[in-house]
Amino acid sequence: MDDEYKNNKLIGSFVYIKDKARQLFVSGLIVSLISFVTLALPCTGMRLGEMSNALYRLVIEYNQARLSQADLASMPSVQSGIIYQIELKDENTTKIHNFSPIDRDVEIYDVTKRIYLNSFPNAIISVLSAKPDLVQLTYHTADARIIFTIDQTPIRDILRSYMPMGFIALSIGYSLLWAMLYFVLKRFYMAPLKALTSTLTAFADDPTIARPTSNALKINSDFQAAAKALDVLQRNTISEIRQRERLADIGEAAAKINHDIRNVLSSATLVADALLNSNDKRVNRSAPHVVRSLEQAVDLCQSMMDYLVAIPDPQLSTFAMHDIANELIDATKMHITYSGPAKIHADRKMMQRIFLNLARNANHAGATKLNIDIWRAGHLGIIDISDNGHGIPKQQWDDLFLAFKSHGLGGSGLGLAITKDLVVAQGGYVKLSRSNENGTEFRIQLPVEIFEMSDERDQASWWPKLNIAS
């Protein structure tokens, strides 16, 4: 075990050193590249200045040779091999003095333009080349031009003597700047971000324990706000988890009690059925009320069980809406009108419970007719369920889908809450579209795919309508 621990530690150290070496190499490469690019700017300016100075020195030598009536070949720059050619141009004539053959390309330099398009690449090429191109320098007099074609090797040597020192100075400067920038980023951004991520990860692993925020988050004002928000999140999450645990315990107890009550109610229902057949008139008059009360109690117990049990994943299948409509007619004795596809592809049990819950609510609200309309809107399948009841008061709209918020007599307040859970489980959304004295309409939005057959999904742009009425 000790050997394995040492080996793992050695491997971890090697990986850490390897990562740091890679970071240093990349940082050094970036600094060198930036230094070199930056060095090209002063190098270009210095080269242009040196060529201007060289031009004026050549003009002085040329004028001295002309005044002394000496041969131009005796000029010092010609003797040293710097000047390859001198070209004299005026309005009418052109005279060329060749001293060395032109064996390389010639770069034309215009002294009147300090910076031109090729200044930067030419400066770098001339410094790096073992044998730089010749350069053509033009001097303008009042009535003529003197064009010198020279070797720029002496200018290159001057620049080369400057570049190492400049490169070292710039590299040191950029390294210091890089180190300062890295320190600032690590101190004020990377460290707080790492601490925030670590706290979030630890809290995600075990959300029942609050983690104290690191002091690194207090350095930056932006992260201070994040730290406060994280503290509030942890407190609220832990409080919510504890509340849910208490509710889970209550729900489990209620489920056990509910189960026992249903057994008692089942026995009582059998007795109530016997009372309906009694010959005693007073018993006959009271028996229907007892039966209705028992049925309401059974429905309440069933609703409690449905609400406490977790909603399972939807099991998609293709079923006929004609069957669903007939089941609603049998259960509610309402007039059902349906318009939509003959078959839909969804979880049949969930959809049947959704329709039944809404139909019973409508029935309790005094409705005698229920209309179901299914249609398509882009990527959504829309189900509109409307009735002709007396409507829902506006003050009840906000808590309409909350559990145990029934405003009707004998209601459990769980029908719409269960309906919402069933719709959400299928990836949808349910809302109250309208409610007034003329009736109420609920709208359910579900992914359009569940309303289309798998082999028709790519080609179905509309649905055939099937009208069903009780």
Q: Would you list the DSSP string of 48-92?
A: HHHHHHHHHHHHHHHHHHHHTT--GGGSHHHHTT-EEEEEEEESS
Q: Is residue 296 a part of any domain in this protein?
A: no
> Which among 108, 141, 175 is the end of a domain?
175
The per-residue pLDDT for range 38-47, each reduced to its tens digit, is 666 677 777 7
Q: Would residue 288 count as lying in a domain?
A: no
CA 415 to chain centre: 37
Angle among Cα 98, 100, 104 to the nearest 5 degrees reads 110
Mean pLDDT of 248-270: 61
DSSP 277-345: T-S-HHHHHHHHHHHHHHHHHHHHHHHHHHHHSPPPPP-EEEEEHHHHHHHHHHHH--EEEEEE-SEEE
Residues 170 and 319 in one domain: no
- Residue 83: phi and psi, rounded to 5, are -85, 125
pLDDT at 453: 47
| pLDDT of 461 higher than 60 | no
- Provide the H-helix boundaries in 129-220: 153-185, 191-205
Q: Residue 398: give the domain boundaries.
A: 312-469
Q: What is the mean pLDDT of residues 335-342?
A: 88
Task: Give me the pLDDT at residue 6, please.
Answer: 47
Residue 424 pLDDT > 70, yes or no?
yes
Q: Tell whether the model's pLDDT for residue 104 goes beyond 60.
A: yes
Mean pLDDT across the stretch 243-250?
Answer: 66
* Structural domain ending residue among the three candidates 175, 197, 230: 175
Residue 46: its pLDDT value, please?
A: 78
Inside any domain, residue 110:
yes
pLDDT at 173: 72
Confidence of residue 189 (pLDDT cuts 50, 70, 90): confident
Assess contact for 442 and 433: CB atoms under 8 A: yes
Query: Residue 370 — very low, low, confident or very high, per pLDDT cuts 50/70/90?
Result: very high
Say what the pLDDT of residue 25 is: 64
* pLDDT bracket for residue 355 (50, 70, 90): very high
Task: Tally the domains of the chain.
Answer: 2
- Looking at residue 49, what is its pLDDT? 81
User: Which residues, listed in sequence order, are joined to residue 135 by a DSSP beta bridge?
Assistant: 107, 150
| Distance separating alpha carbons of residues 439 and 391, to the nearest angstrom | 5
In a domain, 235, yes or no: no
8-state DSSP, 190:
I
Q: Give me the mean pLDDT over the 390-403 stretch.
A: 79
Q: Could you tell me if residue 398 is inside a domain?
A: yes
Q: Does position 409 have pLDDT exceeding 50, yes or no? A: no
Domain ends where: 131, 158, 175?
175
Average of per-residue pLDDT values in the chain: 75
Length of the chain: 470
Statement: residue 133 has pLDDT above 80: yes
Structure tokens at 387: 């009735």
CATH code for the domain of 412: 3.30.565.10
Instruction: Please give the pLDDT value at position 47.
Output: 78
Q: Is 66 exposed, middle or buried (0-12, 13-18, 19+ CB in 10 A)?
A: exposed
As a whole number of angstroms, the distance between CA 454 and CA 317 comes to: 10
Across residues 225-248, what is the average pLDDT? Answer: 77
pLDDT given at position 387: 92
Q: Which residues pair with 383 in a beta bridge?
A: 374, 444
pLDDT of residue 464: 45
User: What type of residue sits at position 391?
Assistant: G
Q: Is residue 422 part of a domain?
A: yes
Continuous segment of H or E residues that includes residue 386 = strand 380-387
Most confident of 41-45, 175-179, 324-328, 392-396: 324-328
Structure confidence at residue 343 as a pLDDT band (50, 70, 90): confident
Considering the domain boundaries, does residue 292 fall inside one?
A: no
Q: Look up residue 247 and give its amino acid.
A: L
At 366, give phi and psi (nearest 5°): 90, 10
Cβ atoms within 10 Å of 464's Cβ, excluding its own: 9
The yes-or-no verdict on residue 28 having pLDDT over 80 is: no
- 139-149: average pLDDT: 84
In a domain, 307, yes or no: no
Place of tokens 């050695």: 10
Q: What is the pLDDT of residue 442?
A: 93
Task: Label residue 194 by pLDDT band (50, 70, 90).
Answer: confident
pLDDT band at 269 (very low <50, low <70, confident <90, very high): low
- Between 164 and 149, the more confident residue is 149
* Cβ-based neighbour number of residue 210 at 10 Å: 16
pLDDT exceeds cutoff 80 at 185: no
Q: How many percent of the chain have pLDDT more than 90? A: 4
